Structures are given as C-alpha cells and as structure tokens.
Amino acid sequence: MASWLFGVLIPTIHLLGILSAVQALMSSRTSQGAIAWIISLVTVPYLAVPAYWVFGRPRFYGYVSARGERDSVLRRVLARYRNLVEPYLAGAKEADVLAVEKLAMMPLTSGNRAELLVDGEATFESLFAGIDRAEQYVLVQFFIVRDDALGHELKQRLKNAVARDVRVYFLYDEIGCHKLPERYLRDLRGAGVAVSAFHSSRGVRHRFQLNFRNHRKILVVDGREGWVGGFNVGVEYLGQNPSMAIGAIPICAWRAPACSASRKPSGRTGTGRRVRWPA
C-alpha cells in the first residue's frame, strides 16, 4: 500500500512542480523571480510547490481591479477641475511627453517649483514647516514610522494641525510599521487624526504577500505643496542611530500645480471624505 501511494504521490508532486513552473514562467513579475521559481519547482517540488502557492502570488488581480476603479474616479475628478489647471498646462507636443501624460493620466504643467533635499535634518525641517503652514488639510503617508523622537515630533505636529481645525489623514503600512505601538495610533485618533492602514488583500492566503506593500513616502499640504521621496520617519534617517545609519536618500519638495500627482495615492483619504483641491 505504501509503495503504491508513493508511486502515485511522487509523480503527482513532480507534475505539479512542472505545471507551477510553467505558470511562473508565464506570469512572474520579473525574470529573476521566474528563474528562481522555475529552478526550485522543478528540482525540489516537495518544498517549492507549497511555498509557491502561498508566497508566489502570480498576478495582480486585486491591484488591477483597484487601479481600474481609481482611474475611473480620477478621470471624473480631472474633468471636473480641468478649468483650474488650464492656465498651467504646458501644451507639450512631443510624442514621448504625450505618452507619459497618457500613462500617468495627468497633464504636464508649468509654473512648478521643486527643491531637492538630501540631508535628513533639512528634509524633516521642510516637512514639519509644511505641516505647520497647513490651513485646510494634510495627507501623510509613510512606509515606516517609528516610535522614537522623530516619530513623536511628527505626531505632535499633526496634533497641532488638528488643533488649528486642519483635517489630517494618516496612512501607514501594516508591515513597515509592525513595531509601531497601538498607543501611537490611538493618540493620533484621539486628537482627531483620521488614521488608516495599508494592508494586503482580504483572505488568509494574501496575508503572506509581504512583498506587496505600499512603500510610498508622501506628504501633501492643502493641495499646494507636496513632498515625495525615500525618507521614512525614524531617527536613523537623521544619522542619530549609528547601528542603523541611513545614507543620503533624496526627497523632492514640490509647489503646485505639480504636487497634484502626489495626492493621487491618497484618493478619498480612506474615510469617504473628499478633500478640496485648489490647484
């Protein structure tokens, strides 16, 4: 009985490995990932097949659906506010620029100001000054927020903004912020900040998709100023933690109308509320 079982089970596992390898070849996001999965699925299918079906999510079904919904909303919003950005349109005619506009679903605009920040101190000084200037709303989105001196400074600036009757929306990543204590988020919510988490698609299987994260670091103030780049919120980005010192990571500060593109990932801020977009 045992020999018959193994005689059926082993070929079945190898067949599943080959079929899974074919699917990995046809649907993996990168060539490196496809090669790695194919080699493991063919050579060690006993371990690789279960791992592939748990961790090797082959397609972006949820992302495609979400992108389609977002694009539909974005088209309606752009049509509604087209007259506001008309004076800033660059009117580019080059084929490559027109292709980028079509892909981004955002027109090329003129009249922008940009500042490149590569020093941690200067970066967060600029970010915090922007929050302090806010009059209507602040959209905050980071992959990592730490419960350290810099994280507390961010929290206090956001709380101060709420005290000025500024609407504040805080989006964090569940994996990137796995060490962030609940009391930090509870303190923000208690002050009136709208707090939301970015998490994987629903379902037990999708909980293992740790590579599908939201790594954006974005701050938008009143639709007129925006910051986007590579800094997370932690003292290591200021060089104050020698064991975790981070090298120079650029971040770009934008002034309207270009910063409208930075607002797109926030959509309706996750609360069902719309934010006014002046430029």
CATH code of the domain made up of 112-266: 3.30.870.10
Nearest one of 164, 163, 266, 170 to 223, comparing CA atoms: 266
Instruction: Give pLDDT, residue 267.
Output: 45
* pLDDT score, position 52: 87
Q: Among 34-43, 59-68, 145-154, which is the least confidently predicted range?
A: 59-68
Beta strands in 51-193, from DSSP E residues, in sequence order: 113-117, 137-142, 167-173
Lowest-confidence region among 12-16, 92-96, 161-165? 92-96
CA–chain centroid gap for 106, Å, is: 18
* Lowest-pLDDT range of 220-224, 228-232, 237-241: 237-241
- Write down the domain spans for the chain: 2-55, 112-266
pLDDT-derived band at 277, boundaries 50, 70, 90: very low
Averaged pLDDT of the chain: 79
DSSP state of 117: E
Q: Write 130-134 long-range contacts (CB < 8 A, 24+).
A: 130/219, 130/221, 130/225, 130/227, 130/253, 131/157, 131/158, 131/160, 131/161, 131/219, 131/221, 132/157, 132/160, 132/161, 133/221, 133/222, 133/225, 134/161, 134/164, 134/166, 134/221, 134/222
Query: Mind listing the pLDDT tens digit for each residue in 172-211?
Result: 998 889 999 999 999 999 999 999 998 654 555 555 555 5
**What whole-number distance in Å separates Cα of residue 93 and Cα of residue 36?**
43
- Which pLDDT band holds residue 110 (cuts at 50, 70, 90)? confident
pLDDT-wise least confident of 19-23, 90-94, 115-119, 224-228: 90-94
Residue 102 scores a pLDDT above 90: no
pLDDT at 2: 62
pLDDT digits (tens, 9 = 90+) for 4-28: 666 778 888 889 999 999 988 887 7
Residue percentage of the chain with pLDDT more than 70:
71
Q: What is the pLDDT of residues 56-80, one digit of tens each?
A: 765 555 555 666 666 677 677 667 7
- Three-class SS state of 188: helix
Answer yes or no: is pLDDT of 159 > 60.
yes
**Spatial contact of 143 and 232, defined as CB atoms under 8 Å apart:** yes
227 pLDDT tier (thresholds 50, 70, 90): very high
What CA–CA distance (Å, rounded) separates 45 from 214? 31
Let me know how many helices (H) and strands (E) the chain has, helices first: 9, 7
From the list 107, 133, 150, the residue with the least C-alpha distance to 238 is 150
Better-scored residue on pLDDT, 182 or 212: 182
Indicate if the pLDDT at residue 233 is higher than 90.
yes
- Is the pLDDT at 271 greater than 70? The verdict is no
